[in-house]
A and B are shown apart, each in its own frame.
Chain A
Amino acid sequence: MKGTKSRYNVLVVEDNLGDYVLIADYLEDTNIIKKLFKAEDFKNAKQILSEPENEIDIILLDLSLPDKDGEPLLKAVHLLSQNKPIIILTGYPDADFAIKSLALGASDYLLKDVLNSTVLHKSILYNIERNKILVNLRKSEQRYSDLFHFSPLPMWVFDQETLKFLDVNDAAIQHYGYSYEEFLEMDITQIRPKEDMPALNRSRKMERKPHENIFHGEFTHLKKNGERITVEIRSNSFEYKGKKAQIILVNDVTERNRHIEAVEKQNEILKDIAWTQSHVVRAPLARLMGLVSVLRDGKIEENQKENFYEHIQKSAEELDVIIKGVVDMSQQIEINKGEE
């Protein structure tokens, strides 16, 4: 067995000394043991597993110990095992329990009668490697689940047939005010105002291709407290736990829309100001310019000049009133700002 690079810390839980010696011998032959730990009962096994520095890589477990046995023993060891593989060693072939033990967290099930170093070697390597893959797979699943649950944008999955919520993420729970359990009791019509029902029903009838990202535009949604929000919706269809489902991504644009509205209102006022500048302000100004230019060119009689000064005065006053109006309009913009 030379050439095997990896070596492992193995815990053998076995109360029968004869069996233990046999197993230890086989393990010795496999040449893959870094350190061998021995436990004679559950209490002892628990002690060893609880010490993190022992770094147990795999557990060989006899299922009949003096202080615990069978199913409860396997469950208890599984809880302590930190997801390390457990190989069950037994003297009796019991096909039903062998299968059940796999469901309870065991990785393999070996009969002591047919045990030898080759079988052990293969089982240990195989189960450690397979376990690594399983752990990685579980981590990867967790990562994807986290991407959904911890997404900063509200998301949910709903059943395309019943419209029931199948899953909702934390952001949705926080944003809409319903608890996770409340959401799962509801269907998507309950977060939509009544007047939107016809549109919702039309939308339901549309055939959705799987894995096609659709942007649906803006909708009104209702929070638990009755508050109406405007949201942008994206969806994608997929199969979720065997059901035709849609995943929904929500972007609350209520604030953004309010802001756009305020900016548009300001633009209107600015347009008014620009129009006033162009049309109204220039009227008395043009008059002033004309009057002054005539006076300067000396085109009028002396006795008419008084009349001209009068006109200049009036035009200047008119201009003053108009400019005050423009200032008032500009202040309106400031006031609108203050309302936000």
Chain B
Amino acid sequence: MNIKTFIVDDDEISIMLTNLLLKDSSFFQEIDTYLDGAYALEHLKNEYSEETIYIIILDINMPLMNGWEFLEEIKAFVTRKNTFVFMLSSSTDRVDIEKAENIDLVKGFFSKPLKTEHLNQIQEQIKIEL
């Protein structure tokens, strides 16, 4: 099955760093980056297919549409069988972490910067889910 990775983050340096890490791993084949939740939503809506596995690495604070709003929107058309969201935020706020835990689609919460161990967690989690 085709695996597609979305990086949704308004911080370009963060995107660059995340990209560098992801490219080291063969697991993440196709990587798309979006500078806002709104752009990511638009693309996902258009191309969404149940035949593809979507890994979405999602920032919380973004100017047009933040991570929470993005999650609220995609709930309507994605399934939790093929869509796995991992929050990646500079926040270490308990409120944010607890909020993420209560959303079905969210499979993990990482504090920035992204580390290799986070990527391992993502792979393991997805293997369990599939």
| A113 → chain B closest CB, angstroms | 100
Q: Is B111 an interface residue (CB 8 A)?
A: yes
Q: Is the CB of B90 within 8 A of A293?
A: no
B61 interface residue (CB < 8 Å to A)? yes
Name the one of A278, A286, A294 contacting B93, with C-beta atoms under 8 angstroms: A278
A287 to B90, CA, bound (A): 9
Per the 8 Å Cβ criterion, residues 287-323 of A in contact with B are 287, 289-291, 293-294, 299-300, 311, 315
Kindly state the interface size class of chain A when it binds its partner. Answer: 10 to 19
Partner of A287, one of B13, B61, B91: B13
| Partner among A285, A299, A311 whose Cβ is within 8 Å of the Cβ of B90 | A285
- Chain A's closest residue to B114 (CB) is A290
Main secondary structure of the interface of B (DSSP, over half): loop
The answer to whether A279 has its CB under 8 Å from any CB of chain B is yes
Complex Cα distance, B59 from A128, in Å, reads 95
Please measure, in the bound complex, the distance between the C-alpha atom of A299 and the C-alpha atom of B114, giving whole angstroms: 15
Q: Is the CB of B91 within 8 A of A291?
A: no
Contact A290 B92 (CB under 8 A): no
Nearest CB of A to B58, in Å? 15
Residue pair A290, B111 in contact (C-beta under 8 Å) = no
Q: Is B112 an interface residue (CB 8 A)?
A: yes
B27: shortest Cβ distance to chain A, in Å? 17
A289 to B61, CA, bound (A): 19
- The reply on A282 being an interface residue by CB < 8 A is yes
**Closest B-chain residue to A283, C-beta based?**
B90
Q: Do the beta carbons of A282 and B90 come within 8 Å of each other?
A: yes
Check A286 against B20 for contact (C-beta < 8 Å).
Answer: no
Q: Does A283 contact B11, Cβ atoms closer than 8 Å?
A: yes
Q: Given A279-B61, A282-B111, A286-B112, is A294 in contact with B20 using a C-beta cutoff of 8 Å? A: yes
Query: Would you call B24 an interface residue if the criterion is a C-beta within 8 Å of the partner chain's C-beta atoms?
Result: yes
B81 within 8 A of A: no
Q: Which of A282, A286, A289, A315 has the most CB of B within 10 A?
A: A286
- Residues from chain B with Cβ under 8 Å of A283 in the complex: 11, 90, 112
B90 touches A291 (CB 8 A): no
Count B-side interface residues using an 8 Å CB cutoff. 16
Q: Is the CB of B112 within 8 A of A282?
A: yes
Q: How far is the CA of A285 from the CA of B92 in the complex (A)?
A: 12
Residues in A with CB closer than 8 Å to B63 are none
Q: How far is the CA of A275 from the CA of B93 in the complex (A)?
A: 8
- A275 CB contacts on chain B under 8 angstroms: 93
Q: Chain A contact residues: over half helix, strand or loop, or mixed?
A: helix
Q: Is the CB of A291 within 8 A of B93?
A: no
- The 8 A CB mask of B65-81 against A (1 = contact, 0 = none) is 00000000000000000
**Any A CB within 8 A of the CB of B14:** yes
Chain A: CB-nearest residue to B112: A286
Q: Which of B17, B24, B92, B114 contacts A291 (CB 8 A)?
A: B17
Q: Are B113 and A299 in contact (CB under 8 A)?
A: no
B13 contacts A290, C-beta separation under 8 Å = yes
CB distance from A279 to the nearest CB of B (A): 5
B43 at the interface (CB under 8 A from A): no
Please encode chain B, from 87 to 105, with 1 for each CB lying within 8 Å of some chain A CB and 0 for all others: 0001111000000000000
| A291 surroundings in chain B (CB, below 8 A) | 13, 17
A294 to B91, CA, bound (A): 21
Contact across chains for B20 and A300 when beta carbons are under 8 A apart? yes
What are the residues of chain B within 8 A of A290 when measuring CB–CB?
13-14, 17, 112-114
- Give the contacts of B97-130 with A (CB-CB under 8 A): 111-115
**What is the distance, in angstroms, from B22's C-beta to the closest C-beta of chain A?**
12
- Contacting residues, chain B, for A279 (C-beta < 8 A): 61, 90-91, 93
Inter-chain CA distance A285–B17, complex, in Å, is: 13
Contacting residues, chain A, for B91 (C-beta < 8 A): 278-279, 282
The 9 A-B pairs with the shortest beta carbon distances in the complex, nearest first, are A290-B113, A286-B112, A282-B90, A290-B17, A283-B90, A278-B93, A286-B90, A289-B113, A286-B113
* Subset of 11 A-B contacts with CB under 8 Å: A278-B92, A282-B90, A282-B91, A287-B13, A287-B112, A290-B14, A290-B112, A290-B114, A291-B17, A299-B20, A299-B24
Known contacts A283-B90, A289-B113, A290-B17, then 15 further A-B pairs from the complex at CB < 8 Å, ordered by chain A residue: A278-B91, A278-B92, A278-B93, A279-B61, A279-B90, A282-B90, A282-B111, A282-B112, A285-B90, A286-B111, A287-B13, A287-B14, A287-B113, A293-B113, A299-B24
